[in-house]
Amino acid sequence: MEKHGFIHDSANSSTSDEDMVEISDATLDFCIADDVPPLDEDMTGGFAVYNGGGMNGSRKMRDFLEEPAPGVGTYEDFNTIDWVREKSRDRDRHREITSRSKESMWALLHSVSDAFSGWLLMLLIGLFAGALAGLIDISAHWMTDLKEGVCLIGFWFNREHCCWISNDTTYEDRNNCSEWRSWSQLITRQTEGAFPYILNYFIYVAWALMFSLLAVSLVRGFAPYACGSGIPEIKTILSGFIIRGYLGKWTLIIKTITLVLAVSSGLSLGKEGPLVHVACCCGNILCHLFTKYRKNEAKRREVLSAAAAAGVSVAFGAPIGGVLFSLEEVSYYFPLKTLWRSFFAALVAAFTLRSINPFGNSRLVLFYVEFHTPWHLLELVPFILLGMFGGLWGAFFIRANIAWCKRRKTTKLGKYPVVEVLVVTAITAVLAFPNDYTRISSSELISELFNDCGLLDTSKLCDYVNDFNSTKGDQMPDRPAGPGVYTAMWQLALALILKVFITVFTFGMKVPSGLFIPSMAVGAIVGRLLGVGMEQLAYYHHDWNIFSGWCSQGADCITPGLYAMVGAAACLGGVTRMTVSLVVIMFELTGGLEYIVPLMAAAMTSKWVADAIGREGIYDAHIRLNGYPFLEAKEEFTHKTLAMDVMRPRRNDPVLTVLTQDSLTVENVEAIISETPYSGYPIVVSQASQRLVGFVLRRDLIISIENARKKQEGVVSASSVYFSEHSPSLPSSSPPCLKLRGIMDLSPFTVTDQTPMEIVVDIFRKLGLRQCLVTHNARLLGIITKKDVLKHIAQMANQDPDSILFN
């Protein structure tokens, strides 16, 4: 009986990486013809004719070694790539190009263009990432101000640009001018009183709800992958996992639009994390312009690592910090060549953003600071205290946010994402409007908290009692706080409470949401409060022993803005567990190069404190929550278990499904594929010997048999399938054979059953394996997949091993 119909179902069935058994080490005996074509597509292409000796003369047979079918060697969705195979294919491609370059001038030009294509791709990624970041910054700033009013000169101007153009603007009142009108002024021509206040309040909330509703609707309707920050998924993709569509064109378009809407709605989120996702989308899409990146998943991931660096570069205006962020936090495989190209992509992205000048201050960043006072050694004590707070806040936030996200996944709450977004937006807007420090955007709040007060500053944070006789040049001495400062302290304390709790519920909703800016805002508020407290303590008690040596009366010795900057770094480090890249990002972000030591002290303290409470950062916690197959390279495996304890099949399990090298027919192979869910099969000499020959992927088998049935005359269910080098001896009346040696991996990675698991885990991490085969006395015994390793690690950590299952 012929079995034609099952193949499509088997090829398109969901085969998780739990069942993916893969090859990994050494020379791979196949090549690829196309980049992941749909299996139901009419596959075309010539087929070689193999003349092998049968029992009674010459016989025709299909040989996939010479010319594999389109789609062979590619991967299905939600599976892990084989790093060793991809690198081997790239080396083969490069050797072929190099050898051909000596044959003709055209081949030489092709070799040069191939070598240059990586740098050209980095240039394009930097240009696109910088341009999109500038567009997002300008749009978000305008739409944020739109909630409070409109510019009469041109509705497309935000408040700052509107008042710059105005001729009657003074420095003291630079954000208020006659050309900028609040909604109450436009509608009632009144600015004071209860009714104008209520009208502005209502319109502010209405704009916020409209922006958030539009954002969540676009995400749900067009690109579900556009929600969240994207960094946990990008870490997983860079480790080798495939999530088709996550870095596609629709995700890029919708994420860019909805990111502007989400930030403008006033929700407690930032655009910095999603900008990394946007840059990686640009990188993935541009990879399709170059064959060597389009057809090789490992090479594409090198590009995505560089794109992540470009994303951080434009998010913070920190190109060096972006490269270090990609190296420390995101990338799984980061060779030296990728470091150079990441640096170039970050440079181009930063230059593009600087050319656009979205902040209007001729700088890359909004938080540029100029502190005039050096810090003192004794100030390390409050800086370390800020680091401790950052660690505690980070641990609290991670636990609370993960608990809320679990509740969202396991209850009816997850079925109503639009309602959740609208409710959180309404609560945020209603509580934010009465407070001056929550009504403005988080970026503006951080900028104001970092600011060092000067003589002409009109902010309530700078409402000090001035003694102009003691002013020396640019330096302002420590002064007693005026009523405005005390009012600002209360408002900041209330803003802190709102930010701490509302961010827990905001991060993870079905809108683009970053965590960098909200975390920095929490830390900056605490730092500014502590800084003002230290400043007043030094002013009123300058005769204390701790101040007498360096903080005399009338001296400028405490800078509250510096405390805000250190607090911001501490809280961001407590949430993300970044260290080196965090410090570099912070001094690039603010220009505060001489304050590296306080930043380092706070960052390390926050990491130590947070790690003492919980080892995972927020992104690793979300990876585990979603069940992504991510093998963390930073954790050590210390348990004394062996490969035989983890491999499958285990005791009382069915025997391992294998294929023999020359005793099966097409019908036998089709039956095995249809009856088992596995993503790959070991090839053995015979069922009796169990001597290992190689390994073949389920997808490659299905595509090869399907193509042979379509293109090779005479291939039927009774046709013999063999993986050996020489064809088996068959009667002359038998149908043509099908030779599939070309799709078999001749050197699958193997370990013995007595190999310690700490070595096996290390092999999986460093080689990027999907599976390895387990042998005993050279006989095949079982298989260990990447998901088996992840489940075993979870089990050893007293976690639910079934949580390692991507859904």
Nearest-angstrom CA–CA distance, 20 and 36: 17
DSSP 736: P
Q: Measure the CA angle with vertex 686, ends 680 and 692; round to 5°.
A: 55
Contacts of 177 (CB under 8 A, 6+ apart): 162, 163, 166, 168, 169
DSSP 742: G
From the CB of residue 109, how many other CB atoms can be counted at a distance below 10 Å? Answer: 11
Dihedral sign for Cα 244, 315, 364, 342, please.
negative
Nearest-angstrom CA–CA distance, 567 and 557: 18
From the CB of residue 5, how many other CB atoms can be counted at a distance below 10 Å? Answer: 7
Nearest-angstrom CA–CA distance, 521 and 504: 14
Report whether 690 contacts 779 (CB < 8 A): yes
From the CB of residue 370, how many other CB atoms can be counted at a distance below 10 Å? Answer: 12
Report whether 225 contacts 245 (CB < 8 A): yes
Report whether 759 contacts 769 (CB < 8 A): no
Q: According to the model, what pLDDT value does residue 362 have? A: 64
Q: According to the model, what pLDDT value does residue 266 have? A: 92
**Residue 51 phi/psi, 5° resolution?**
-105, 95
Report the candidate in 102, 37, 45, 111 with the shortest Cα–Cα distance to residue 71. 37
Identity of the residue numbered 500: V
Report whether 148 contacts 182 (CB < 8 A): yes
Nearest-angstrom CA–CA distance, 218 and 286: 24
- R_g (Cα) of the chain, nearest Å: 31
Query: Residue 315 has which token pair?
Result: 């998010």
Task: Walk across the sheet containing 750-752 and list its strands.
Answer: 750-752, 771-776, 779-785
Query: Residue 478 has which token pair?
Result: 């420590």
Query: Residue 640 has which token pair?
Result: 């004394």
Helix (H) or strand (E) holding 569: helix 560-576
Q: According to the model, what pLDDT value does residue 175 have? A: 62
Q: According to the model, what pLDDT value does residue 309 have? A: 95
Contacts of 97 (CB under 8 A, 6+ apart): 107, 110, 111, 114
Q: Which SS3 state, helix, strand or coil, does residue 33 take?
A: coil
Helix (H) or strand (E) holding 49: strand 49-54
Nearest-angstrom CA–CA distance, 429 and 432: 5
Report whether 715 contacts 62 (CB < 8 A): yes
From the CB of residue 164, how many other CB atoms can be counted at a distance below 10 Å? Answer: 13
Cis peptide bond prior to 480, omega within 30° of 0: no
Q: Between the CA atoms of 396, 398, 404 and 406, what dihedral angle is there, to the nearest 10 degrees?
A: -140
How crowded is the C-beta side of 41, counted as CA atoms within 13 Å? 12
Contacts of 512 (CB under 8 A, 6+ apart): 215, 219, 226, 227, 228, 229, 230, 255, 258, 259, 262, 269, 271, 274, 277
Helix (H) or strand (E) holding 59: strand 57-63
Q: According to the model, what pLDDT value does residue 610 have? A: 95
Helix (H) or strand (E) holding 722: strand 720-722
Report whether 753 contacts 702 (CB < 8 A): no
Contacts of 35 (CB under 8 A, 6+ apart): 74, 294, 295
Report whether 589 contacts 337 (CB < 8 A): no
Query: Residue 61 has which token pair?
Result: 């047979």
**Residue 707 phi/psi, 5° resolution?**
-70, -40
Report whether 117 contacts 290 (CB < 8 A): yes
Q: According to the model, what pLDDT value does residue 36 have? A: 34
Report the candidate in 451, 437, 345, 365 with the shortest Cα–Cα distance to residue 137. 365
Q: How far is CA 598 from CA 295, 385, 391, 550, in A?
A: 47, 11, 15, 18
pTM: 0.84
**pLDDT tens readout for residues 693-722:** 899 988 888 888 888 888 777 778 888 888
Nearest-angstrom CA–CA distance, 290 and 202: 52
Query: Residue 360 has which token pair?
Result: 């209007």
Q: According to the model, what pLDDT value does residue 640 have? A: 87
Regions of the chain with pLDDT less than 50: 1-62, 64-66, 471-474, 807
